[in-house]
Structure 1
Amino acid sequence: MQLSMPYFEQAKVLVVGDVMLDRYWHGASSRISPEAPVPVVNISQTEDRPGGAANVALNLAALGCQVTLLGVIGLDEAGMVLEQRLQSTAIVTDFHRSLSKPTITKLRVISRHQQLLRMDFEDRYTWEDSCALAARVESHLDGVDVLILSDYAKGSLQDCQALIQKARSHNIPVLVDPKSSNYQRYQQATLLTPNLHEFEQVVGNCRSERELLDKAREMIDSLQLNALLITRGEQGMTLIRPGHSELHLPARAREVFDVTGAGDTVIAALSGALAAGETLPESVAIANLAAGIVVGKLGTATVSAPELRWAIYAEQGFECGVVTEEQLLLALADVRANGEKIVFTNGCFDIIHAGHVGYLEEARKLGHRLVVAVNSDASVKRLKGDGRPINTLDRRMAVLAGLEAVDWVIGFDEDTPERLIDTLKPDILVKGGDYREDQVVGAPIVKTYGGQVKVLSFFDNCSTTSIVNKIRKNALFN
């Protein structure tokens, strides 16, 4: 499957559900309490993060989507803090304030990156609170691409059918992250995203892959769903659709650090990609990549657009190596956002020798990323004459891409890389050989925007031309 970064900024998503405040108390623990066999934690840092449906909204906003969030909060300090945290984002909020119930709050005590204790402060919201929230939805449906129902079974979504039918009347897909064991309330939703444990709580234990798929298809038929996505932890995720073979995607996490909020990330990335115009299989694949990123973070977390773009690059094999100009521009935008310096050099690189390798290693040390631009075959012939290049462009770029010092390799057809330099605007332009700084092609361009120009010497007194001449000379005498 060929993935590309969705145009998330075009996606408009409405999130309705159980919002909550996730609190984290961090501190060192070095002794056991004399009062009871429990660790004593000396709290040194506290942190408040929006959780539940609010974390879904944060994940969407982090990807660049246009997000509106509806939920229920209490008339309390936790509700005020939750609103304040969300005010610093681009998320539009419209909360109903319960007169009788508190804001759902989860407090976690953490020491040495390990969660020692979680305390929940909650009381299920009333039917009146849920109806008041549902009444707010209609005014937010215009122009919405996807509606997410983030149901943590805390009482905010007691009449899911009313919301699903409202969305259907506007031709808006409805994606549900279900925590309730009564899945009849989600009838005619577009897609459900239960994890395996949640799914088996409803349909019973699945003793085989075939049984899981059969029960999934039975659920789709009985609930009149368009699809079902079952997230399966270290076993990845499986998409089931009527009339299609199942699509299984393996887990992408290199190291699982914390699964808190992973489901929020999955439904956010999936919904955002769908809203941006991606197909369902592509959207699921993107959500799978996002999940692999977020479980490597501690606590309730989000995945940024640059992080997801890098994961897509890695999936397609161009997070480094040979790239097109469009791919390189996207990659450079992301590394610049992280404050990394870009080094650029160019050449024919017809026969890679020790001098090239040493020179490129030195060039890489000047910054964080090294771009190597390579003359096309036609360009080399114009510069070096008939009989050159010895190696074609694809072979020259493949060798360069295999060097540890090189991040990206790109070809160009002009005699000089000036247009490419002007387009990419590297922080540091590097050239090897006996040049003065003012003789380096592209130097004036780089200096106009405050970049640097460096001249490095080739190592071992090597040159491609001398190697080629030596080979030809030996060929004459043999």
Structure 2
Amino acid sequence: MDSIPSFTDSRVLVVGDIMLDRYWYGDTGRISPEAPVPVVRIGDEERRLGGAANVALNLARIGARTRLIGVIGKDEPGAATRGLLADAGIDDDLVESSDHPTIAKLRIVSRNQQLIRLDFERSFAMDGAFDRTALVARVRAALASTDVVICSDYGKGTLADIADVIQLARAAGVPVLVDPKGRDWQRYAGASLITPNAAEFEAFVGHSAVDDGIEADSWLAEQATHTRRQLDLDALLITRSEKGMNLFAAGGDLHLPTQAREVFDVTGAGDTVIAMVGAGLGAGLSLPDAAAVANLAAGIVVGKLGTATVSPAELRQAARAQRAGDQGVVDEDVLAEWFVQARARGERIVMTNGCFDLLHPGHIAYLEAARALGDWLVVAVNDDSSVARLKGPERPLNDLAHRMQVLRGLASVDWVVPFSEDTPERLICRLLPDVLVKGGDYEVSEISGGECVINAGGEVRTLDFVPGFSTTAIVDRLRRDDDR
């Protein structure tokens, strides 16, 4: 996954169990005289969308065009849920039940610790709980304007007819993603993808006798392949907490290591994962790339308290941090592709070039000044043969590999690319950075590749070197010292 796409054209339909999560916050400083329990003086209250509604909220927060179908009661929590959906810009097409309350969960929190959770719910699975025909009809009507369907099953009965939903969507050519619940997965047969966590998967296939290592991974792959065939699934994405995620698909298996730096609360992480996969597919990503976006998002959301979402800015920042960990020496073909992606993200690329034979304080100051002109700094480096032609047969002092290794270690340098010609004109004209930088007293018209950059709408800048430093001067001084 090279970049975060725009999700604004992604049209996702979420169907499933809708919940209202309520949080009461307060201080506690004494034990009740009535029973050995803390007394909490409630100060603040917060309401959040939960279950399938939280999946929809995750989608809306990243800009996806989101519609939610589910069941609520004709009660105050149901009205509150509708209000939160409207505030989030989510199109709701909800079925109301006169006999069953909206599913609600109340958490009492003190000093960032959850003391108790109170659940208010009755299963919608029983006959007459709501109009199931109306729910399926809503799904059928929405498919014409839907790129991806997500079924968020929390086992509360809304998706008792999920087989009909899957069949309708697949017949319309729309992929169906399912977040499963319980052990009866046969009703998910024919789905495009299901996204269990490790515990849910083992509850279905049975517990592994091996907890870790190569044998455990082999067992997981074997069971996943068997499950895909058994349920006629296109793919299976298993989330494994600190072990990351594993995607098993016909096109090949993929392991995605965890991106979480600190785990604070895993509540709602599964909602985020399936939402990001759905949004990614709707935006045109391949399944592996969509899973990579979901993995980034999961690493962010587990660092937040309670059911939470991620923003496009957070995703871009996480993706950039991931790319920064991979940055370094690269060939020009790979770099050319990366330039296209960076431009699509609206990022400003600065490029400079040189021999950088013997790095000194003048180089450091120059590269830091160049990096300050944009989001990324690319340094093109003369190979050994071109340095010898330019500087003489005794140069370079350090070979190309060592020169690039030193440059890639600098905080100011993002990418290092070699070139073999005496000037980088061909390379610069191919890559076309936003800003081309050269040090010294050059005229802009004298800078190799400058004309190409300017003609493409870019900018050419000259920066002053720090006086008193040059590789040639340092080499001459060392030679004079040796002659004494």
The TM-score bracket by the shorter chain reads: 0.7 to 0.9
Deviation per residue, 1:351-388 (Å, 9 max, x gap)? 56452476379869x9898754646649xx99x96659
1:255 Cα offset (Å):
1.9
Identity %: 48
Match of residue 219 from structure 1:
227
CA contact (8 A) 2:265 2:302 kept: yes
Letter aligned with residue 84 of structure 2: R
Cα distance in 2 for partners of 1:255, 1:195 equals: 19
Deviation per residue, 1:168-187 (Å, 9 max, x gap)? 21011111111143222212
Letter aligned with residue 154 of structure 2: Y
Q: Secondary structure at the match of 2:141?
A: helix
CA contact (8 A) 2:350 2:373 kept: no
Match of residue 72 from structure 1:
71
Cα distance in 1 for partners of 2:466, 2:103 equals: 64
1:267 Cα offset (Å):
1.0
Cα distance in 2 for partners of 1:227, 1:353 equals: 51
Letter aligned with residue 290 of structure 1: A
CA contact (8 A) 1:134 1:163 kept: yes
* Matched residues, number: 454
Residue 404 and residue 220 in structure 1: after superposition, are their counterparts in 2 closer, same or farther (change >3 A)? closer
Structure 1 stretches of 5 or more lacking a match? 337-341, 436-441, 443-452
Letter aligned with residue 176 of structure 2: V
Q: Secondary structure at the match of 1:82?
A: helix
Deviation per residue, 1:273-298 (Å, 9 max, x gap)? 22333333333333233222221222
Residue 142 and residue 31 in structure 1: after superposition, are their counterparts in 2 closer, same or farther (change >3 A)? same
2:174 paired with 1:167: no
Deviation per residue, 1:308-361 (Å, 9 max, x gap)? 34444444556765785875797799899xxxxx99796747256452476379
2:107 paired with 1:115: no
Cα distance in 2 for partners of 1:29, 1:357 equals: 59
After superposition, residues 219-368 of structure 1 pair within 5 angstroms as 219-241=227-249, 246-317=253-324, 324=335, 327=338, 348=354, 350-351=356-357, 353-356=359-362, 359=365
Cα distance in 2 for partners of 1:320, 1:23 equals: 43
Cα distance in 2 for partners of 1:181, 1:171 equals: 27
After superposition, residues 433-444 of structure 1 pair within 5 angstroms as none
Match of residue 453 from structure 2:
none
Cα distance in 1 for partners of 2:375, 2:231 equals: 53
Letter aligned with residue 263 of structure 1: G
Cα distance in 2 for partners of 1:456, 1:27 equals: 59
Match of residue 200 from structure 2:
198
Residue 371 and residue 246 in structure 1: after superposition, are their counterparts in 2 closer, same or farther (change >3 A)? closer
CA contact (8 A) 2:366 2:463 kept: no
- TM-score of the superposed pair, with normalisation by structure 1: 0.76
Match of residue 339 from structure 1:
none
Cα distance in 1 for partners of 2:380, 2:241 equals: 46
Match of residue 402 from structure 1:
409
Cα distance in 2 for partners of 1:185, 1:468 equals: 76
Cα distance in 2 for partners of 1:192, 1:108 equals: 29
- TM-score of the superposed pair, with normalisation by structure 2: 0.75
Q: Secondary structure at the match of 1:268?
A: helix
CA contact (8 A) 2:17 2:52 kept: yes
CA contact (8 A) 1:343 1:363 kept: no
Cα distance in 2 for partners of 1:331, 1:433 equals: 28
Q: Secondary structure at the match of 1:128?
A: coil
Cα distance in 2 for partners of 1:408, 1:90 equals: 40
Deviation per residue, 1:231-270 (Å, 9 max, x gap)? 222233333346x765443333222111111111111122
Cα distance in 1 for partners of 2:249, 2:346 equals: 38
Residue 361 and residue 39 in structure 1: after superposition, are their counterparts in 2 closer, same or farther (change >3 A)? farther
Cα distance in 2 for partners of 1:250, 1:140 equals: 36
Cα distance in 2 for partners of 1:349, 1:90 equals: 54
Match of residue 104 from structure 2:
105
Letter aligned with residue 111 of structure 1: S
Residue 361 and residue 299 in structure 1: after superposition, are their counterparts in 2 closer, same or farther (change >3 A)? farther
1:197 Cα offset (Å):
2.0
Q: Secondary structure at the match of 1:58?
A: helix
Residue 393 and residue 113 in structure 1: after superposition, are their counterparts in 2 closer, same or farther (change >3 A)? farther
Letter aligned with residue 359 of structure 1: A
Deviation per residue, 1:107-151 (Å, 9 max, x gap)? 222233322221222222354343322221111101422211111
Q: Secondary structure at the match of 2:70?
A: strand
1:405 Cα offset (Å):
5.3
1:165 Cα offset (Å):
1.2
Match of residue 136 from structure 2:
134
Letter aligned with residue 361 of structure 2: G
1:406 Cα offset (Å):
5.2
Q: Secondary structure at the match of 1:141?
A: helix
CA RMSD of aligned residues (A): 4.6
1:404 Cα offset (Å):
3.5
Match of residue 438 from structure 1:
none
Letter aligned with residue 173 of structure 1: P
2:26 paired with 1:27: yes
Q: Secondary structure at the match of 1:27?
A: strand
Cα distance in 2 for partners of 1:409, 1:247 equals: 29
1:468 Cα offset (Å):
4.6
Residue 11 and residue 31 in structure 1: after superposition, are their counterparts in 2 closer, same or farther (change >3 A)? same
Cα distance in 2 for partners of 1:335, 1:76 equals: 46
Letter aligned with residue 258 of structure 2: A
1:20 Cα offset (Å):
1.6
Letter aligned with residue 228 of structure 1: L
Cα distance in 1 for partners of 2:9, 2:380 equals: 37
1:49 Cα offset (Å):
1.9
Residue 472 and residue 54 in structure 1: after superposition, are their counterparts in 2 closer, same or farther (change >3 A)? farther
CA contact (8 A) 1:372 1:410 kept: no
Which piece of structure 1 moves more, 395-404 or 196-205?
395-404
Cα distance in 2 for partners of 1:360, 1:129 equals: 70
